[in-house]
Structure 1
């Protein structure tokens, strides 16, 4: 499908914290579409209210995506133009947006992704670790396959990017220390773009010591140096 074809589905990045990071084009597109698909309608509702966007909101999340994809694609075939947003960042990154994008493309529909906010890029750039080559790992497996994955990544030479939750960070750092070595350099970025943004850099050993005595809240991106 050529680039001049009408767009049926827009992927619209939303701020990861600071509402002023929303782009002019993103606001414009959300004002033009017929319906906005949201991971959490309450969270997205606050964003729409802030920018005075009055468009129908429909829930689309990991618990209902298989049941709704076919119906959504059919509605787009019939002429509806939709926008997909996530709670924060770019749709399709560590969320179920991929399934809808693939189904729309298989149906011959035109999908357009706007550039905009995503958490791992600023975390990578301000980590001070090499960023000419990197690998995005997202969330590590919670249980099955977790140690196998860490064992594999111990030999990765590129800088590694992870998403992690506050209550699992210490466990993850400790396991990485076991597999990667205590001197491997890393950076923990949390609450990016928000008033309490924090970037803590050091060896895995340093980070473990820091977070054993400091309260940890908020969204986290963990950047880990590759094997030398």
Structure 2
């Protein structure tokens, strides 16, 4: 398998390993243990959408600061506090973002708590936005689309989702999730206006009222 093809599937492999434990070994006792671990894992999805210019942006470019996005992680911590039960043995934060620099900073800050699909540079699914002119010929568009789909499906498999209000990508993942009362949303760069309480989730009609743009 070529390097590019390996990168294409890395996001799905990571999300499958940490978020979607669907395949269990043949041994019955091992299978029971794996299923119990899956039930006792609290999976929190975080989707932070920047503007198109953040694709492949080095962390120092534009003075990228984790502080501008800290409200997302504060919200996640609050939801973890509300939703964690005595049976919870493991908590996973799954971060999806178009900003490579932001993912790197978040991994440094939160370490083992955080999972990302990939630390490879991101590309817009319309790769011409990255200044490429041979998107179809180079396979960049197909690779970018596969990576985006992997991130979206991984996000859809989490138990609770904190997404970017303006992002169609995050909304589609939330709808694919097919759960009730499990979505909170914020905007990058804005302070957290209210606590992410157990019952302050986004109403379905409010999400449906905003065009996904996909």
TM tier, shorter chain?
under 0.3
Q: TM-score, normalised by structure 1?
A: 0.25
In terms of Rg, which structure is larger? Answer: 1
Q: TM-score, normalised by structure 2?
A: 0.26
Higher helix share: 2
If asked which structure has higher relative contact order (CA below 8 Å, sep 6+), I would say 2
